[in-house]
Chains A and B, each alone.
Chain A
Amino acid sequence: HLQLQESGPGLVKPSETLSLTCTVSGGSIDNSPFSWAWIRQSPGKGLENIGNIFDTGSVHYNPSLETRVAISVDTSANRFSLEVTSLTAADTGFYYCATPGRDDSFGFQYWGQGIFVTVSS
C-alpha cells in the first residue's frame, strides 16, 4: 500500500525557486511501471496538473507551466521532486504528489496529504 508525503518550505519569496519533494513508502519508485505526478490547487480553485514523470523516464508538463517547472526522480532515496522557478503570488496554493499505483490505469489512487505553499515577501 503506497504512501506519499510531500515536504518543502511553506513560505517562499516572489521570483525565487520552490523545491518540493515527495517521499514514497510502501513501494519502490525504481522500476515501478506507473507514473508519478505533481498537482496543485490554488485557494478556492480546482485541481491543476503540473506534470507527470513516467516509468520510461519521459516527463510531460502542463503547457502553461512547462517553462518554469521541472520534475525529477531520485530512485536511491525513493522520492521524486518538483522545482518551480520565477514564483509569483499566483503560485500560492496546495501542492500534491500522486500516483495511480498501477500500470493499467491513469486514475490517481494514491495522494500525499498536500503541502500549502505561500509566495509572499
Chain B
Amino acid sequence: YVLTQPPSMSVAPGDTARLTCGGERIETKTVNWYQQKPGQAPLLVICDDSDRPSGIPERFSGSNSGNTATLTISGVEGGDEADYYCHVYDGDSDRTVFGGGTKLTV
C-alpha cells in the first residue's frame, strides 16, 4: 500500500495549510499524522483520521474521504514549520506504511 504526499508546501503566517495524503481507497483506513521538527522524534498530532491527542492545539484537524486524507492547520504559526508524515496500518496486508512526508515552510 502506497501513501503519496507532496514534498513541500509553503504558507504565510495566519493562513490555513492543507496537507494531503493520497492512497487507494484511503477512506477505508484510519490515518494518523505526525509532525517532526529537526533533531526531534515525530509527534502524533492527529490519530484515527480526526482525533487530536491531548496537548495538540485545536488548530490541527484531520479528515479522510475517497482517496485523500487531509491534515488542516488553521492560523499557521512559525512554530508549525516542520515535516509532516501520514501513516496507516493496512489491515489487508498487516503492514504499517508511512507517506514520504511534506516539508511545511511558514
CB distance from B15 to the nearest CB of A (A): 25
- 8 Å CB contacts to A: which residues of B50-104? 51, 53, 83, 85, 87-89, 94-101
- Residues from chain A with a CB closer than 8 A to the CB of B30 are 105-106
Closest to B89 in A: A106
CB distance from B7 to the nearest CB of A (A): 10
Give CA–CA (A62, B43) in the complex, Å.
Answer: 22
Q: How many interface residues does B have (CB within 8 Å)?
A: 26
Find out whether the CB atom of B96 lies under 8 angstroms from the CB atom of A113: no
- 8 Å CB contacts to A: which residues of B6-28? none
- Residues from chain B with a CB closer than 8 A to the CB of A96 are 41-42
Give CA–CA (A37, B94) in the complex, Å.
Answer: 13
Q: Is chain B's binding surface mostly helix, strand, loop or mixed?
A: strand
Closest to B5 in A: A46
Asked whether A107 and B44 contact (CB < 8 A) given A46-B85, A46-B101, A47-B85, the answer is yes
Find out whether the CB atom of B95 lies under 8 angstroms from the CB atom of A62: yes
Find out whether the CB atom of B41 lies under 8 angstroms from the CB atom of A113: yes
Asked whether A114 and B41 contact (CB < 8 A) given A62-B95, A106-B89, A108-B87, the answer is yes
Find out whether the CB atom of B87 lies under 8 angstroms from the CB atom of A107: yes
Asked whether A105 and B41 contact (CB < 8 A) given A46-B98, A47-B101, A49-B97, the answer is no
- 8 Å CB contacts to B: which residues of A45-76? 46-49, 52, 60, 62-63
Find out whether the CB atom of A109 lies under 8 angstroms from the CB atom of B47: yes
- Residues from chain A with a CB closer than 8 A to the CB of B95 are 49, 60, 62-63
